[in-house]
Structure 1
Amino acid sequence: MAERPGIAALLAALGEGQVRLVGGAVRDSLLGHEVADVDVATSLSPYEVMRRCGAAGIRTVPTGITHGTVTALAQGETIEVTTLRADLATDGRHATVAFTDDWREDAARRDFTVNALYFDPGEGRVFDYFGGLDDLAEGRVRFIGEPLQRIAEDHLRILRFFRFTARFGSGVDEAGLAACEARANDLMALSRERIADEWLKLLALPNPAATVRLMLEHGLLRPVLPEIGTEALPALEQLIAAEQAAGIAPEPLRRFAALLPRDPLVAEKVAARLKLSNKARKRLASAATEETPGVPRALAYRIGTDEARDRLLLAGQAEAAASLEGWVPPRLPVGGGDLIRRGLVAGPAVARTLKAIEARWVEEGFPDGERLEQLVDEELAATGAR
């Protein structure tokens, strides 16, 4: 990571010994995973960070300066730089913080041991204050400190516990699970946007079925998603198997639909509650239908390729879904003007005839050339135009 030009430039600007890479970037690097987002912790104040970056020609944005966070934009890299902090007060959603120069104190306010690893590029050393390296090696996601207290500080940690368990865990930490179950009702105090974001991140993982089962069996979703029960698990498992068989990437909204009742109205209601975007609401509701998919390309032409792929995969039709990869629905190569030039009187008959031509064209697999001409001639003849 430190070899990437933008990160190297930022570290040089902030000064050796006063900055460490932290969190996901360190964790993922140790696991040999690709590192996308990079976070940096520093003993410098946010204003000093901005001053030093400015002197080095690095642009900064005070994205969360009251909480010590400055975003640095360096040679194509977007890096969050946060001053070491300690929590003064928390209410389950927000924290009041004070800046500190104590690295361990900063680590103590983080959620899980595997997320509290720091890498000092100057020393080439990983700092681990709470056993995160051992937990990472053993596939264990464990709260730092007392789990019940950590959840009371930030209720979103319930969902994060399960997401990280699904991603990194080889089992589940029983103390963490018990605490999440005991405080499940705390989720009701969170904004629905935060719940939706974390839930969809979990569903986007390669195979979250076992973790979702665990959550449902322990009643974790009941306070915020009562529509989902354990009876929906086979549908999720079937969908994941179909995605893998088709070689199609996970889609969290599609997987969400698998867990909901097959009722677009219910899906719409849930999507509205979670304040999903209009596009996401439409896709979730479409995927939740019980309608038989039918011919893949005809379906894709009618409702769109993404939504058609969702329905096919949810129906277990992996091969049919795979057949849509790379296919772009064509446009009907006949317009109203073409029909009028061929003798059809302008008016409602034009739209009706076009609709009839389009229906047959789609049904026959989008023919062109001579067969398309035949379809047009036949439908024109049916109107008496020729």
Structure 2
Amino acid sequence: MGDLYEGLLQKNAEDKKSGAGQYFTPRPLIDSIIRLTKPQLGERIQDPAAGTGGFIVAAHRRIYNENNELYGLPDGAAEKQIRDCYTLAELVPDTHRLCLMNLMLHGIEGDAHSMDTLTDEGASLPKADLILSNPPFGTKKGGGRPQRGDFSTTANTSNKQLAFVEHIIRGLAPGGRAAVVVPDNVLFEDGTGRTLRQMLMNWCDLHTILRLPTGIFYAQGVKTNVIFFTRNADKAQSGGTKEVWVYDMRAGAPSYGKTRPLKAEDFTAFEAAFGDDPYGHGERQNQGEEGRFRRFTRDEIDARGDNLDISWLRDGEEEAEDGLTDPDDITAAILGHLREATREIEALVLELEGGEEDEATAAVAAE
């Protein structure tokens, strides 16, 4: 029943391109992330922007299958797994209801909160050993800032994806790991974006970035990545990242859409390059300028102005979109680009309107 329900969610996401990507992450991508991060029995796993709960369902499926369907465990371990180890938060009420049904059909009874993670409610979520998430893109409704007393870096931005990254950094237990889908602007945006990347690389070991192909999230119409990182075990707020490995799955990629859906085998080469260690410390091979997987030291990244939007192969976006043949895919691509352009304009206007207030707030904070 759970598999059937997830199939219906996927079909709805495919049929309703407009906005569907806000709550549905392609299952081949989720499954690849699960294979790499290797969720373990007893770990507390969180998704602070859960959508329909796909990441948690996939994590539970792996744990369930690798532990004899939770039979034969010590007293109370199975009950603890399904009730205490999963924490979810979702803002949109209709999507939250879909999430609750999905969890129930997969035998999960964890905490699935209907809440805004970017308020102080989010600060009360328990620390996690593993965070898996595809946070919403765009600006906070009405241009509002996060209402989190514990935020510092993103306290004065309406950019939701930046704020969610700060939540995830703070939400990890010491030594905890995360895999998060983010748009390109998180990797290159100046100002708050750069400060956040510095926080990320200081507080955590940002060991891997996967540059995803275009056409996966047409609803948002943006280029996306998966960032893999681990919170410093000693809670230190400096020196976390020594090097970053970047895998370019985007350049020369096929035209993804109805006529060429994303498949599990599309991630085979990346998973082999990533290695078996969920913390990214396994043996890796630097493939150089002609390959897809390269290593960059922290000094090299510093020299780039902390810009992590690193590419060296010819970007295949133009080739991919020229290759679209299905009318729905073409329409979705056009609408996606228009939405992203609109989002960028709205974000710019909001920042300009709030510029004086932000400067005054910063001056008070400095004093």
TM-score for the superposition, normalised by structure 1: 0.30
Structure number with the higher helix fraction is: 1
Per chain length, whose mean CA-contact separation is higher, i.e. which structure has more relative contact order (CA < 8 Å, sep 6+)? 2
Q: Which has the larger radius of gyration?
A: 1
